[in-house]
Amino acid sequence: MSGSYDESAGADDTMDSFWEVGNYKRAVKRVDDGHRLCNDLMGCLQERAKIEKSYGDQLTAWSKRWRQLIEKGPQYGSVERAWLAVMTEAERVSELHQDVKNNLMNEDVEKVKNWQKEAYHKQMIGGFKEAKEADEGFKKAQKPWAKKLKEMEAAKKTYHMACKEERLAAAREANGKTEASVTPDQQKKLHEKVDKCKQDMQKAKEKYEKSLDELNKCTPQYMESMEQVFDQCQQHEVKRLTFLKEALLDIKRHLNLTEGQRKENLMNGGLTTKASKRDHKPDLST
């Protein structure tokens, strides 16, 4: 099993151990968390898509407005063409951002949505089938061990109480021997009380040791059964992590405006002009 849960954890971590009763719920909760994280990722991409669309729309509006002003204005020749090329570049950048928006919504969001639908199956009564199966599997594996644990803890408590009673009885007997007001009959009763407490303590000790031995005997099978259910949860989690990593790589590629053909189309579409920086003669001769 994965090292996520360390069976050799220190005493301070006992209550936080995976093996303690009910602590398996953290593994079950990952199912709900996984579904929610898919929703979060889709929400994140949808927000980014809105930003891309908004920026693209603003560039288009800006380009249209200034193209009209330039074409109707007094500027002419190569400077006019260079200026208009800036507008052309904006239009092509706008197209790129619209492409990003479309890729995010039509490919990435849909991919996450479809995977989520295949990986998590909602129940009519609420929750997910995968979480219910894991929870039931853990409960079944833990039930016999939890029963033995409860018996051991009860026996341990009884034994500790018996030890306390024996110590108190022994202290009373010792005090009685030093007090002149205590009669021989009272001393006899105090001694009998000590003997009875010792017998009760021994019985409680034997019962505690027996319950502890029974618990230890069933622990290996308990751990094996719990590991089997946990490994199934791990397999589902590994699939989720693998999918999300691949999806995020695609998202990164879709967001990269400088990649391959996009960059070439952008540069050829408006960032270059045939007008020479220093040769103004063609403009001045018109």
User: Which 3 state secondary structure label does DSSP give 20?
Assistant: coil
Percent of the chain at pLDDT exceeding 70? 85
Reduced to 3 DSSP states, what percent helix, strand and coil does the chain have, rounded to the nearest 5?
80, 0, 15
Give the C-alpha separation, 175 to 139, whole Å.
52
Q: What is the pLDDT of residue 11?
A: 44
Instruction: Report how far apart, in Å, the C-alpha atoms of 73 and of each of 66, 67, 76, 155, 275 are.
Output: 10, 10, 8, 97, 19
Lowest-pLDDT choice from 113-122, 169-178, 264-273 = 264-273
- Could you count the other beta carbons within 10 Å of the beta carbon of residue 114? 10
> Which residues have CB under 8 Å from 169's CB, separation 6+?
190, 193, 194, 196, 197
Domains defined for the chain, CATH in brackets = 29-120+256-286 (1.20.1270.60), 130-237 (1.20.1270.60)
| Closest C-alpha to 86, from 103, 58, 67, 108 | 67
Give the C-alpha separation, 82 to 112, whole Å.
43
Tokens of 233: 């949860």
Mean of the per-residue pLDDT values of the chain: 88
Asked if residue 148 has pLDDT above 60, the reply is yes
Q: Which residue has the higher pLDDT, 233 or 10?
A: 233
Asked if residue 247 has pLDDT above 50, the reply is yes
- For the segment 108-142, what is each residue's pLDDT rounded down to a tens digit? 999 999 999 999 999 988 899 999 999 999 999 99
Q: What is the pLDDT of residue 263?
A: 56
Q: What is the pLDDT of residue 276?
A: 52
- For the segment 7-45, what is each residue's pLDDT rounded down to a tens digit? 444 444 556 789 999 999 999 999 999 999 999 999 999
Q: What is the pLDDT of residue 234?
A: 95
Asked if residue 277 has pLDDT above 90, the reply is no
- For the segment 57-108, what is each residue's pLDDT rounded down to a tens digit? 999 999 999 999 999 999 999 999 999 999 999 999 999 999 999 999 999 9
Tokens of 42: 């889709």
Contact 31, 134 (CB under 8 A): yes
Contact 44, 251 (CB under 8 A): no
What does residue 122 show for φ and ψ, rounded to 5 degrees? -70, 145
Contact 151, 211 (CB under 8 A): yes
Provide the pLDDT confidence category of residue 280 given band limits of 50, 70 and 90.
low
Average pLDDT over residues 263-286: 56
